[in-house]
Structure 1
Amino acid sequence: MIQRIQSIWLFLATVVLILMLFLPIATKTVDGSESILYTYGLHRFMHVQSGSALNAEVFLPPLIVNIILILLCFVNIFNFKRRTLQKRLVILTILIIIGFAFLCSFYTKELPGGIEGASFGMGAYMPALAILFLILAVFGINKDERLIRSAERLR
């Protein structure tokens, strides 16, 4: 039963959230120095050409929330026998991802000079992609429930 379609969608959501750890959310260049915002912190480079790092700030709250989301999606793959619990956890995960996106947008204000003029990277779009995969997982869970109910009616 682990080959259910919702397991694939949950796995893809897990992969997307893992990728969010490594992909930049936003990048901004001001006066020859480049700042790159990741989920785990902000990296500032003094000179764009030489690549020498000025400093790095660590943002613990978004990192912790991202790791919790990864674990929640991964553990939920193995709840295929308890579909109602699986569906509730998926909906909870979607709500946490929405809050996580707002948390990340809050931390984009840490860029020097604010958000204006910043270019958004692939990491900024990953929460939306994870939500899409989780919604598809809910559809798969509902399809499984309908299949089980119809099989019980036949008995």
Structure 2
Amino acid sequence: MIQRIQSIWLLLACVTISCLIFVPIVNTSIGSAQYLLTAQGIYEKVGEQSKQLEASLPVLISTIAIALLALFNIFNFRKRALQKRIALVTIVLIIGLSFWCSQYAKKIPGGLENANYNVGLFLPVISIFFILLAIRGINNDEKLIKSADRLR
């Protein structure tokens, strides 16, 4: 059913991974310049002015695709086995995206030695946690349906 708890968990996972687009993952300061890394790219902020140094369109597209996959998975409520498989694929894709972002973070000026880690670093982990809770909800639905079938 669409009103089950796993729909809420999948929606929260979608929103969490979507926040990765706007929330900085890593930032570092060199002199008066501050460098930020988001899923959109590397930004240099000097005073109030901000300009994009390097765009990361593949990371941005991947982040949006993973968020849409989690959102699409909400509507597979009638096919629980497929819903679980898509949730597991989403977890693997989030892990891959996290690795990709970590490799991309090495390009930030000043390196990662002096970098400050922001909330964006923990968003993929939170999203994976929400998807795991959704899988648990799907398993509970399967148990409920199997027990109802035994009663018939």
What TM-score range do you get, normalising by the shorter chain? over 0.9
In the alignment, is residue 79 of structure 1 matched against residue 83 of structure 2?
Answer: no
Aligned partner of 1:108 in structure 2 is 105
Give yes or no for contact 2:41–2:52 (8 Å, CA) kept in 1: no
Q: Distance in 1 between matches of 2:109 and 2:103?
A: 13
1:36 alignment partner, SS class: strand
Trace 1:1-155 onto structure 2 (pairs within 5 A).
1-45=1-45, 47=46, 50-53=47-50, 55-155=52-152
- Return the alpha-carbon distance in structure 2 between the equivalents of residues 84 and 78 of structure 1: 13
Q: Which sections of structure 2, spanning at least 5 residues, go unmatched?
A: none
Distance 1:42 1:135 in 2: 31
Superposed structure 1 runs of 4+ greater than 2 Å apart: 50-56
Deviation at 1:55, TM superposition (A): 4.2
Q: Distance in 2 between matches of 1:96 and 1:30?
A: 33
Task: Describe the SS at the equivalent of 2:109.
Answer: coil
Shift of 1:138: 0.5
* CA shift digits 1:54-111 (9 cap, x unpaired): 5432101211110110110000000000000000000000000000000010111111
One-letter code of the match for 1:23?
A: V
- Indicate the percent of aligned positions where both proteins have the same amino acid: 45
TM-superposed deviation, 1:144: 0.3
TM-score where L is the length of structure 1: 0.94
Q: Which amino acid aligns with 2:146?
A: R
TM-score by length of 2: 0.96
Query: 1 CA distance for matches of 2:10 and 2:147?
Result: 25
What are structure 1's unaligned runs of at least 5 residues? none
Give deviations 1:127-146, integer Å, cap 9, x for gaps: 00000000000000000000
